[in-house]
Structure 1
């Protein structure tokens, strides 16, 4: 899935815990959809790329 610049995209595992992600001109923002008023986590594009590649490979699986 490609993130649309300036638009929050919601991801859910089927429960009530959802994460929203938004791409800006120079970073990726991540927030809890149940608490959108809180400050989002910020990642550079290279940090986000490293994380998503690792997730796809199962690096973070418990």
Structure 2
């Protein structure tokens, strides 16, 4: 039987795969000065707090990440 990866499994509701992030290549848009890091793992986007890397990471599908980035570019999350 072929092994199924997290990317191939259908997601329902809030279900997200249990990704192995131990070897993820974390990136920071602020050259390491910011509080948020992201990594691309098995077709998903993981986000973590760089100040607490041992804390749980948020996992986004490509569609969720795209919607977030689109909203951020439009200023939807700007503080007033």
TM-score (norm 2): 0.60
Divergent runs of 4+, >6 A? none
For the aligned residue pairs, the C-alpha RMSD in angstroms reads 1.5
Deviation at 1:26, TM superposition (A): 2.1
Task: Tell which has more relative contact order, 1 or 2 (C-alpha 8 A, sep 6+).
Answer: 1
Report how many residues are paired.
54
Structure 1, gaps ≥5 residues long: 1-5
Judging by fraction of residues, say which structure has more helix.
1
Q: When you count strand as a share of all residues, which structure comes out higher? A: 1
Deviations 1:22-44 (A, max 9, x none): 01122100000010011101110
